[in-house]
Amino acid sequence: MRIIKIFDTTLRDGEQSPGSSMNVDEKIQIAKQLVKLGVDVIEAGFPIASPGDFEAVKRIATEVTGSTIAGLARAKEEDITRAWEAIKDAPQKRIHTFHSTSDIHLKYQFRVSREEALKRSVEMVKLARSLIEDVEFSPMDATRTELPYLVEVVEAVIEAGASTVNIPDTVGYTSPVEFGRVIKAIKDRIGDRAVISVHCHNDLGLAVANSLVAVMNGAGQVECTVNGIGERAGNCSMEEVVMNLATRKDFYQVSTNINTKEIIRTSRLLTRITGIPVQPNKAIVGANAFAHESGIHQDGLLKEKMTYEIIKPEDIGLKQTELVLGKHSGRHAFKERLRELGYDLSPDEIETAFKKFKHLADQKKDIFDDDIAALISEEVSKIPETYSLLDLSVSAGIHVKPTATMKLKVGDRIVEKVAYGDGPVDAVYKAIADVTETKSNLLKFEVKSITGGTDALGEVLVSLEEDGKRVRGQGADTDILIAAAKAYINALNKLAARKSPGNV
* pLDDT mean over 60-89: 98
* φ/ψ (deg, to 5) at 199: -135, 95
* Ordered DSSP codes for 60-75: HHHH--SSEEEEEEES
* pLDDT band with cut points at 50, 70 and 90 for residue 480: confident
Are 310 and 340 contained in the same domain?
Answer: no
189, 309: one domain: no
Angle CA 342–343–349, to nearest 5:
165
369 and 412 inside one domain:
no
Q: ∠ CA 133-266-502 to the nearest 5 degrees?
A: 70
Residues 204 and 175 in one domain: yes
Q: Which of 240-249, 361-370, 486-495 has the lowest mean pLDDT?
A: 361-370
- Does position 500 have pLDDT exceeding 90, yes or no? no
Q: Which of 1-10, 177-186, 306-315 has the lowest mean pLDDT?
A: 306-315
Is residue 159 located within the same domain as residue 48? yes
More confident residue, 214 or 437: 214
Local structure of 160: helix, strand or coil: helix
Query: Is 429 part of any domain?
Result: yes
| pLDDT value of residue 326 | 65
- Tell me the CATH number at 445: 3.30.160.270
Q: Could you report the per-residue pLDDT of 369-398, keeping only the tens digit for each?
A: 667 776 766 555 556 788 899 999 999 888
Span 269-280, average pLDDT: 87
- d(CA 291, CA 272) in angstroms, rounded, equals 22
* pLDDT one-digit tens code per residue, 77-130: 999 999 999 999 999 999 999 999 999 999 999 999 999 999 999 999 999 999
Domain assignment present for 211: yes
Provide the pLDDT for residue 35. 98
Q: How many other β-carbons are positioned within 10 Å of the β-carbon of residue 400?
A: 8
CA distance 61 to 232: 28
Mean pLDDT of 424-430: 92
CATH code for position 176: 3.20.20.70
Could you give the C-alpha distances from 494 to 42, 134, 425, 489, in angstroms and in order?
Answer: 26, 37, 20, 9
Same domain? 184 vs 121: yes
* Domain of 295, in residue numbers: 290-317
Whether 210 and 350 map to the same domain: the answer is no
351 pLDDT band (50/70/90 cuts)?
confident
312 shares its domain with 335 = no
Q: 243: closest CA among 279, 282, 270, 278? A: 282
271 is a domain residue: no
Q: In a 3-state reduction of DSSP, which class is residue 422?
A: coil
Round to whole Å and give the CA distance between 119 and 103. 16
The Cα–Cα gap between 417 and 392 comes to: 10
**pLDDT higher than threshold 50 for residue 467:** yes
Number of domains in the chain: 4
- Over pLDDT 70: what percentage of the chain? 87
Q: Are residues 125 and 212 in the same domain?
A: yes
The overall average pLDDT reported for the chain is 87
114 vs 18: which has the higher pLDDT: 114
In a domain, 433, yes or no: yes
Identify the band that residue 204 occupies on the pLDDT scale cut at 50, 70 and 90. Answer: very high
Does some domain include residue 75? Answer: yes
Are 456 and 477 spatial neighbours (Cβ–Cβ below 8 Å)? Answer: no
Which of 21-35, 346-360, 366-380, 455-469 shows the lowest mean pLDDT across its residues?
A: 366-380
Instruction: Give me the helix-helix angle, 114-131 and 77-87, nearest 10°.
Output: 30
279 vs 180: which has the higher pLDDT: 180
Spatial separation of the C-alpha atoms in residues 28 and 291, rounded to whole Å: 33
- Residues 342, 302, single domain; the answer is no
360 lies in the same domain as 440:
no
Better pLDDT: 2 or 327: 2
At 503 the pLDDT is 46
The reported pLDDT for the residue numbered 370 is: 67
Contact between 229 and 275 (Cβ < 8 Å): no
Q: Is residue 32 part of a domain?
A: no
The answer to whether residue 476 sits within a structural domain is yes
Q: Which of 254-263, 335-344, 424-433 has the lowest mean pLDDT?
A: 335-344
**Residue 37 covered by a domain:** no
- DSSP code at position 213: H
Using one digit for the tens of pLDDT, what is the confidence trace for 396-422?
888 889 999 999 998 889 999 999 999
What per-residue confidence (pLDDT) applies to 319? Answer: 67
466 plus 419 within the same structural domain: yes
User: Is the pLDDT assigned to residue 1 strictly greater than 80?
Assistant: yes
Q: How far is CA 134 from CA 125, 140, 144, 165, in A?
A: 10, 19, 27, 11
- Where is pLDDT greater, at 16 or 8? 8
pLDDT for the residue numbered 23: 87
SS3 352: helix
CA distances from 275 to 101, 110, 206, 228, 474 (A): 35, 35, 25, 14, 8
Concatenated DSSP letters of 279-306: PTT-TTTSTTTT----HHHHHHHHH-GG
pLDDT given at position 182: 98
